[in-house]
Amino acid sequence: MTDLLKKAISLGWGLTIVSKEKVEDLVDDLVKRGELEPAESKQFVERLIDRGAEEQTRLKKLVNEQVQSTLQHMGLASAKEVEELARRVAELEIKVAELQQP
């Protein structure tokens, strides 16, 4: 069973996109083929689901880091920076309007 778990865990990235139902189907198939004991199947499903969730979190973090790096490299302003500039422009417009009044 440990070899089987190692193989499944080595799927890594693939587990991020597999639904719980698909994992359960896979494990049921392993039980039918005699590669996994029925008593171990539930625990194995849980391990695979947990591993998939971990990989999904890691993938999201990696994608986010890459996007942030690309945006910084391109010199684009962040939403926060744009919001701050819009606030400053609004304040300046108010001051200009006040100066233009007689």
Give the closest residue to 5 by CA, choosing from 27, 24, 21: 27
E-only strand ranges, the chain: none
pTM above 0.75? no
> For 20-45, how does the pLDDT look when each residue is reduced to its tens digit (9 = 90+)?
777 778 778 888 888 878 888 888 77
Residue 94: pLDDT band with limits 50, 70, 90? very high
Q: What angle do CA 64, 6, 45 make, to 5 degrees?
A: 80
The phi, psi pair for 37, rounded to 5°, reads -75, 140
Give the closest residue to 23 by CA, choosing from 48, 55, 42: 48
Residue 18: pLDDT band with limits 50, 70, 90? low
